Structure 1
Amino acid sequence: MPLRFAADVSTAKTDYGTVLLDQRSGEYWELNPTATLVVDTLMAGGDEEAAATAITEAFDVTAERARADVSALVEQLRAGGLAV
């Protein structure tokens, strides 16, 4: 399922990934390059499987681990109210 950030979440790319600002709480989240790749894939309309494939192509990780990591990241972003 494509991902989008909540209306009150700001993003900024950095040399080390992406920083998210939850304007409601003032909390910052820092995404490493792997998480940034996942988010970019999902925001572009890809599904979780496409994001896992992108990870396995870019990094030395198994498909099983990539799927688990993508699922965990999406769950954390949704649970934190950052993504819908």
Structure 2
Amino acid sequence: MTFALKPDVSLTPTEHGTVLLDERRGRYFQLNPTGTLVLRTLLDGATAHQAAELLSERYGITREQAATDVAALLENLRKRKLAGR
């Protein structure tokens, strides 16, 4: 399954990561650089597993921890109604 943000969510890079703006609700959500890396990887078509692999390699954390972190980000985006799937 391909990850996608809702159509009314826009991305703005910042010096500290990325801001996601829910244009319909007028709410925003800030991602740090690590969250930005995961989000960009998923938006480029990678699976959650592949994003976790990249996170593990880039930051030297276990694959299990990386998978937990990716899953938490995805759940948070869905809960805030920013992700479409």
TM category (shorter chain) comes to over 0.9
Shift of 1:2: 2.3
Shift of 1:25: 1.6
- In the alignment, the residues of structure 2 paired with residue 25 and residue 60 of structure 1 have an alpha-carbon distance, to the nearest angstrom, of 37
Pairwise CA RMSD of aligned residues? Answer: 1.0
After superposing on structure 2, the runs of 4+ consecutive aligned residues of structure 1 that deviate more than 2 Å are none
Instruction: Tell me what 2:62 maps to.
Output: 62
Contact kept, 8 Å, 1:10 with 1:21, in 2: the verdict is yes
Structure 2 segments unaligned to the other structure (5+ residues): none
Matched to 1:50, the amino acid is Q
SS in 2 for 1:12: strand
Matched to 2:50, the amino acid is A
Matched to 2:55, the amino acid is I
Instruction: Tell me what 2:9 maps to.
Output: 9
Contact kept, 8 Å, 1:2 with 1:44, in 2: the verdict is no
Structure 1 segments unaligned to the other structure (5+ residues): none
Count of aligned pairs: 84
SS in 2 for 1:61: coil
Q: TM-score, normalised by structure 1?
A: 0.93
